[in-house]
Amino acid sequence: MVIGQYLSTLHPVGNLYKPHLRRILRFAIIYHRVFQERNAGFVTHSAASRRLVDFPLPMDALGAQFDEAWQVLRMLVEELPSIC
């Protein structure tokens, strides 16, 4: 039995815009293989996501990476007009 959810039925936490949630999930699928989308629009967990649940240290490292990376990218976008 495959447990997953259709992208169209995902409910973002807080005020996250649904298209942004889809982009984040697809980023995780492509670059980190944390989820998988074998059927178009249907997202399931992968072996990597199971490992993140079972072992908290890699999850903490991944969380720290995203916390840092997203903040830097946000600031970079804000500064681009003054650089160019």
Percentage of the residues of the chain whose pLDDT score is greater than 90: 0
Tokens representing 76? 């970079």
3-state DSSP call for residue 35?
Answer: strand
- Residue-range definition of the domain harbouring residue 77: 4-83
- pLDDT tens per residue across span 21-62: 888 888 888 877 888 888 888 888 888 888 877 888 877 887
How far apart are the C-alpha atoms of 68 and 39, rounded to whole Å?
A: 32
The pTM for the full model equals: 0.52
Q: 3 near 42, Cβ under 8 Å?
A: no
Judged by DSSP in three states, 15 sits in coil
Q: Please tell me the predicted confidence (pLDDT) of residue 57.
A: 86
pLDDT for res 2: 59
Total domains, the chain: 1
Cα–Cα distances (Å) from 7 to 41, 57, 78, in that order, read 5, 28, 30
Does residue 44 contact residue 4 with C-beta atoms inside 8 Å? yes
